[in-house]
Amino acid sequence: MASLRRFSPLPGFGLAMGYTLVYLALIVIIPLTAVGTKTLTMGWDAFWAAVSSPRVVASYQLSFGASLLAAAINVVFGLIFAWVLVRYHFPGRGLIDSLVDLPFALPTAVAGIALATIYSENGPIGKVLEPRGIEIAYTPNGVLLALVFIGLPFVVRTVQPVLADLEKEVEEAAAGLGASGWQTFCRIILPHIAPALLTGFAMAFARAVGEYGSVIFIAGNMPMVSEITPLLIITKLEQYDYAGATAVASVMLIFSFLLLLIINGLQGWMQNRHAKGS
């Protein structure tokens, strides 16, 4: 405690920490506790029945599976995106750079409707894909597509500055020592950006798990097939099954929290190793 006091640039550790805790309580903890307390009004059997019905379990699988996959896809393509934006100078670079943020700014419903229109069997892309047996709109593929769409900026924006921070000279040094392009990427560039990639992954994943607006327009929302958990929660609310809704929500909350905790831990471990070297 004493050491915290000594070096703090903020006006006093006590005050700053107090604000932090009050803020966290008002914005995050109290609303989330409400989810828990509402859930507790049910008995154990009712809770278990609500959260383990086949339809709910199928929705967990879709929500978490599609979110993880979408985040993974975004890691790969977000990295390529960031690479192009950092390393190459070409006409229209500024335009592309600002287009990356569009999924942040667009109302998600607009994105969902647009994607559904384009990828449905009559849409310009769907028309090409459908005859080849690739169905996107109104299937789990559509869910994945929407989640990839909304998650892209997270990876690009977290990796971009870290990549820009890596001096060209370091790569030249590696090449001068005989490393091939692939070796330089795996041994020099990837370890450097790995913590940022992981952060991007975690953020894209968290956003995808909670995403509602864009998905429902393209998913088709068929129970057991293309129904996401947030939709199920809304459905329960509309049927005045508040306890059931919070029960499902609390399971989702615990899952998400655990996953983010693991990712954060992994990232902290990497950063620690990295901090020694930076």
Give least dist CB 87 to other proteins, A: 16
Do residues 106 and 153 touch, judged by C-beta distance below 8 A?
no
Span near other proteins by CB under 8 A; candidates 3-11, 45-53, 108-116, 166-174? 166-174
**Shorter beta-carbon distance to other proteins: residue 30 or 186:** 186
Q: Is 273 in the site for other proteins (CB under 8 A)?
A: yes
Give least dist CB 234 to other proteins, A: 45
Do residues 176 and 245 touch, judged by C-beta distance below 8 A?
no
What residues numbered 26-55 form the site for other proteins, per CB under 8 A?
A: none
Q: Is 278 in the site for other proteins (CB under 8 A)?
A: yes
Q: CA-based diameter of the chain, in Å?
A: 69
| Dihedral-angle region of residue 191 (phi above 0 means left; psi in -120 to 50 means alpha; beta otherwise) | alpha
Give least dist CB 188 to other proteins, A: 6
Rg of the chain on CA atoms, in Å: 22
- DSSP H helical segments within the chain, as ranges? 2-7, 13-24, 30-40, 44-52, 54-87, 93-99, 102-105, 108-119, 126-129, 140-165, 168-176, 181-184, 190-210, 213-219, 229-238, 242-277
Q: Is 87 in the site for other proteins (CB under 8 A)?
A: no
| Sole binder of other proteins in the list 18, 191, 265, 268 (CB under 8 A) | 191
Give least dist CB 197 to other proteins, A: 14
Q: Is 277 in the site for other proteins (CB under 8 A)?
A: yes
Give least dist CB 167 to other proteins, A: 6
Task: Give the closest residue to 220 by CA, choosing from 89, 132, 126, 131.
Answer: 126
**Shorter beta-carbon distance to other proteins: residue 132 or 276:** 276
Tell me which residue has tokens 């057991």: 224
Per-residue DSSP letters for 218-269? HH---TTTS--HHHHHHHHHHTT-HHHHHHHHHHHHHHHHHHHHHHHHHHHH
Binding mask 202-241 for other proteins (x = CB under 8 A): ----------------------------------------
Give least dist CB 227 to other proteins, A: 43
Give least dist CB 148 to other proteins, A: 30
What residues numbered 170-189 form the site for other proteins, per CB under 8 A?
A: 170, 172-180, 183, 187-188
**Shorter beta-carbon distance to other proteins: residue 38 or 274:** 274
Tell me which residue has tokens 């559904």: 116
Interacting residues toward other proteins by CB under 8 A: 167, 169-170, 172-180, 183, 187-188, 191-192, 273-274, 276-278
